Chains A and B, each alone.
Chain A
């Protein structure tokens, strides 16, 4: 398995604060990786760095071995990386179909692009939303629309920042199913908080704490790890207890 996206000794400092501290990790082709950690662990900062919105102070980001540190967001997207932000970032004035069609940047032929867009909406179970204006959609629907935009161009790697934020239980299960099926074709990095969701989809989990990698292991072992439970003090719920 080849390393698709990797970081080497990534450190990000703001003023006096070290938000990300010497993080080295890598995600292989086809892998599904969850990135978890309590508030302030550095997940969002790491996400922003991987997606070209912030430049690191020290260290490198590599795509298939190629140094992509500091590249602009649009160049990173062009490498074949789909990015979904925590707060849905959408084209409010456009329709759902138009938005997804725009995501198919490389597809020049209009009819094919629309067909592909509709197929993507189909895949995510929101094809009935196609003619609706994005601004008028409910929050959970907006998350799914953004997911559709991310997935449509068939990126090799998808990075999702808290994809289920604000979703209902039903929408969360649907999202879990979608992401698991997406994993058949794409590598995925999910930055998440929601433990139920993690348990439903995770295979390998990287835990961040105070900017550093605390533990990186199989999900069951991570959730049973005392240290992880400690850092999540107060956030741990009964579902984390693994029965042996």
Chain B
């Protein structure tokens, strides 16, 4: 039963992915294709918080921190190595390490939800302020200037492994992004099916009871938090390939956006936030074309309404509407 559902979900996702890879680069202009790639990277970011929050029960207000760290470490590594092959793992490992350190302090310190929100929020803002202040030549890591407010405009795009002279064209980057999204989705699904995943969900349901059964909740939460951080880092790397890295990756606006995508898409599902991220990004882009209307206003109202009216998110509410009671993944 659940095995079948897993395969059908993955099959459906794969079909959509293949369709996207074949169709979109042919139909979209370059600019729109790059935008689409950005949306895909946002979806990976949404997926990371969907995992950490929806399934792990950890409300991280600063998922943008790992997004930014991923982007920046990719850029710095790529500029220093001259070859993006090694920059990719860096983009994943650096945020994972930071998540490990932060997670250790928070979970092994038994810090409660509210305080965790405060700490993750503050961390993101500190990173934002720090990177913002790194204008000027003294702020470089190896060959990479951090660039302060302007970011790193010369972020190198991905090249074929081992072939640094040949950066990949935007079409390939789009394909890579979409495939990455699919892979992350599959990995997340598989994780949830392992014992680790089931314990994580149990901990979210009732941490105390899980501990009374002998599970060390601190270690499990740390684990899922690190995985989420790594995934967010990957999304930062993908983002860096379409747009250059800048401090806005660490902004409160981004942190808020990620939360909105997950809430509106459906807290407790994986596909929901992915779809939510794409739809909301389309909405924000469209709103940006309207004169005088602030995207911040629109997103803020959406979040407000989401919390007040549909606390379970759009997708699960639709599912309930159509008669599927249980949690969807």
- In the complex, A touching B (Cβ < 8 A): yes
Which residues of A does B touch, CB under 8 Å?
51, 72-74, 77-78, 83, 85, 89-94, 98-99, 102-103, 105, 108, 133, 149, 153
Q: 10 tightest CB-CB pairs across the interface, nearest first?
A: A77-B214, A91-B205, A74-B211, A89-B209, A78-B214, A73-B211, A83-B212, A105-B214, A74-B216, A93-B205
Tell me which of B65-73, B121-129, B194-202, B301-309 binds A.
B194-202
Q: A93-B327, A108-B195, A133-B326 are in contact. Are A85 and B205 (CB under 8 A)?
A: no
Within 8 A of A (CB), among B179-232: 195, 198-199, 201-202, 205-206, 208-217
The answer on a CB contact under 8 Å between A91 and B209 is yes
Residues from chain B with a CB closer than 8 A to the CB of A78 are 214
Q: Can you give 9 contacting A-B residue pairs, CB < 8 Å?
A: A73-B211, A73-B212, A74-B215, A77-B214, A91-B206, A92-B206, A94-B201, A105-B215, A153-B213
CA distance A94 to B210 in the complex (A): 13
With a 10 A CB-CB cut-off, give which of A72, A73, A83, A99 has the most chain B CB atoms.
A73
The answer on a CB contact under 8 Å between B199 and A77 is no
Residues from chain A with a CB closer than 8 A to the CB of B198 are 98, 102
The answer on a CB contact under 8 Å between A94 and B205 is yes
Residues from chain A with a CB closer than 8 A to the CB of B208 are 73, 89
Residues from chain B with a CB closer than 8 A to the CB of A51 are 212
Residues from chain A with a CB closer than 8 A to the CB of B212 are 51, 73-74, 77, 83, 85, 89
CA distance A107 to B72 in the complex (A): 43
In the assembled complex, the CB of B173 is this many whole angstroms from the nearest CB of chain A, namely 39
Residues from chain A with a CB closer than 8 A to the CB of B202 are 91, 94, 99, 102
In the assembled complex, the CB of A123 is this many whole angstroms from the nearest CB of chain B, namely 18
In the assembled complex, the CB of B112 is this many whole angstroms from the nearest CB of chain A, namely 16
Q: Which residue of chain A is the closest to B268 with respect to CB atoms?
A: A93
CA distance A103 to B213 in the complex (A): 6
The answer on a CB contact under 8 Å between B205 and A92 is yes
CA distance A94 to B217 in the complex (A): 17
In the assembled complex, the CB of A143 is this many whole angstroms from the nearest CB of chain B, namely 14
With a 10 A CB-CB cut-off, give which of A89, A98, A153 has the most chain B CB atoms.
A89
In the assembled complex, the CB of A60 is this many whole angstroms from the nearest CB of chain B, namely 21
CA distance A108 to B194 in the complex (A): 11
Residues from chain B with a CB closer than 8 A to the CB of A102 are 198-199, 202, 210, 213
Q: A98-B198, A102-B199, A133-B326 are in contact. Are A72 and B205 (CB under 8 A)?
A: no
CA distance A77 to B214 in the complex (A): 5
Residues from chain B with a CB closer than 8 A to the CB of A99 are 202
Q: Besides A74-B215, A85-B212, 5 other CB < 8 A contacts?
A: A73-B208, A89-B208, A91-B209, A91-B210, A102-B202
CA distance A148 to B308 in the complex (A): 38
Residues from chain B with a CB closer than 8 A to the CB of A98 are 198
The answer on a CB contact under 8 Å between A89 and B206 is yes
CA distance A133 to B326 in the complex (A): 9
Q: Which residue of chain B is the closest to A98 with respect to CB atoms?
A: B198
Residues from chain A with a CB closer than 8 A to the CB of B214 are 74, 77-78, 105, 153
Q: A93-B327, A108-B195, A133-B326 are in contact. Are A77 and B213 (CB under 8 A)?
A: yes
Residues from chain B with a CB closer than 8 A to the CB of A94 are 201-202, 205
Instruction: Determine which of B209, B215, B327 lies in contact with A90 in the assembled complex, contact meaning CB atoms within 8 Å.
Output: B209
CA distance A137 to B190 in the complex (A): 29
